[in-house]
Amino acid sequence: MKKFFKWTGLLLLTVTLFGGALGAHEWYAKKPLFFRAFLDRTLIKFALDNPEILTSIGVLDGMGFKGHNAELNDDSLEKADEMFVLMREVREGLLAYSDDSLDESQRLSKEIALYLIDGQIESEPYRFHNYPVNQLFGLQSQFPSFMDSTHQVNELEDAQNYISRLKKADVKFAQNMEGLIVREQNNIIPPSFVIDRVLSEMQAFVDSPAEENILYTSLQGKIDKAANFSDADKSQVLKNAAEAINQHVYPAYQSYIDYFEKLKSKAGTDDGLWRLEGGDIAYKQALEFFTTTNYSADYIHETGLSEVERIQQQILTILGSEGFDVTDGFTTAIESLKDDERFYYPDTDEGRAQILADYQTILDEINQSMGEVFNVLPKAGMEVKRIPEFKEKTAPGAYYQRPSMDGSRPGVFYANLYDIKATPKYGMRTLAYHEGIPGHHFQISISMELEGLPIYRTLSPFTAYAEGWALYAERLAWELGFEDDPYDNIGRLQAELFRAVRLVVDTGIHAKRWTREEAIEYMSNNTGIAESDVVSEIERYIVMPGQATSYKVGMMKILELREKAKVALGDKFNLADYHDAVLKNGAVPLEILERLVDQYIQSKST
């Protein structure tokens, strides 16, 4: 986690103190002498141009620089255009380093960087084939979440910077509106249900008095915890915050409410990318990006159907052995399980608090045994929190927030507690292993803490790798004996079934012209999860084409490679060493992962 601090400090201080010498050359030269300097400099320059990223990583704060915390990112179309120009320049810079001049690790860094950049350049003609304001994410929910979870307030300057950002919300919203208008002009309009969801969310956000808004109450809570504010400063800061919310934030939201109210008349009920001009190409690109494969929509769809059948049979076998009637098939049997009240917590504040406590117990328990199957363990801590109530109704069942790179903020497993029926006790272990240990928290934190790699390699956004690992982690926990209870094992299989169903419905919606209702029906009949989860999941796939296919594709590849290594190495196979091979290079495309595992097999065979 100190990697970004170390390289940012080195480059910036070298330029400052030794300007005109080697440091200045490495910072300003079109082709720095050191390939690592080129890669890290590129990412650092990008971060320095994005104040919200600087706040997230927290590095400059530790160096005494806080001015960026008063600013928000430039989200204008002009800025986005500049980014595509920059990507082409970076690509040219990468190609200036011949493979012969690089060592093996550097060649891999170059290959991965080109993979990322080429994918982005290829997607430029379809950059507007999405719905950036939707029920899951978008400025309307990300802005308050960022201010609440990321902007730290430890002293008066931090609070003043917080208010400065509130006052700039209207500019940020106006910049994002530029892209919405371009999409409207190109008939890229969200389905009607998306508009209904975001309107409901935003209207609820502005309906409360400023003093009850999360932007106010979060600041108030941070000031109280800081404990070094005078009463006069606290009173003035909170007064200024309320004024900023009323004068800048609420008008920004109202402008979006007015826009989407007018847009509703143009919205339809077709949901897939197929309905947009060029949508078939956009979806193909989405599948390639998220799975890091060339798998076709048809192949993914058929694989999903096959996996659904296989996993359902395993679940039925366990249910039958536990006395459930399975003669009427999967749907009836799983409904009986779902209706069993012994598997649910009380629908109360106390019940929800107990869920969070039990999640933490599950994670603490498995964490004690990880040294047996991992040679490297993350240094970063993690905690469990509830998804903020203002957005949990349309949020996913859970998600993970990575720790800060400077170590000041742990990783967080956010659990959705809106619908108590969506948290059956038999599913909790699997979810905790996926989001936390040894899932996302292990993979992401270990990646962030790797030494000797360019910064970007510790942050690479390869979803099939990351989500594939998290799904693999569920299976690994079971293999290690942490889900011996047959119902916990059903929870694990149901989670894997859920990801197999995703292969079917995602491709069904975007390539096979399924309606939202058809997809909901298929997922309901084939998973047995709470209906509230089914609806939010299907609606998620509609606004995030291809992303849901990455989990099962990635897991299947990691398991396939593990079996390949077991067969090839026999008695020489060691699970911790295999995990090293998978994790020690950070997130990578699956085809590169296979090559790395092949190299691991070869090294252990001699």
Quick: pLDDT tens for 60-76: 887 788 999 999 999 99
Give me the torsion for CA of 339, 497, 370, 379, rounded to 10°. -100
- Tokens of residue 92, six digits: 């040219």
Length of the chain as a residue count: 606
The whole-number pLDDT of residue 4 equals 43
With H, G, I as helix, E, B as strand and everything else as coil, classify residue 21: coil
State which amino acid sits at residue 107: R
- CB-count exposure of residue 335 (10 Å: 0-12, 13-18, 19+): middle
The whole-number pLDDT of residue 386 equals 95
- Distance between CA atoms of residues 43 and 403, nearest Å: 18
Q: If you average pLDDT over residues 375-397, what whole number do you get?
A: 87
Asked if residue 552 has pLDDT above 70, the reply is yes
Q: Which pTM value belongs to this model? A: 0.86
Half-sphere exposure in the Cβ direction for 33 (13 Å, CA):
6
The whole-number pLDDT of residue 125 equals 96
Q: If you average pLDDT over residues 82-102, what whole number do you get?
A: 96
Q: pLDDT tens for residues 308-321?
A: 999 999 999 999 99
**Extents of the domains making up the chain:** 139-269, 286-553, 554-605
Give me the torsion for CA of 413, 416, 422, 426, rounded to 10°. 20
Kindly list the strands in the beta sheet with 382-386, ordered across the sheet, starting from the edge strand earlier in the chain: 382-386, 411-415, 398-401
With H, G, I as helix, E, B as strand and everything else as coil, classify residue 414: strand
With H, G, I as helix, E, B as strand and everything else as coil, classify residue 383: strand
Q: If you average pLDDT over residues 551-573, what whole number do you get?
A: 97
The whole-number pLDDT of residue 58 equals 79
* Average pLDDT, rounded, for the chain: 92
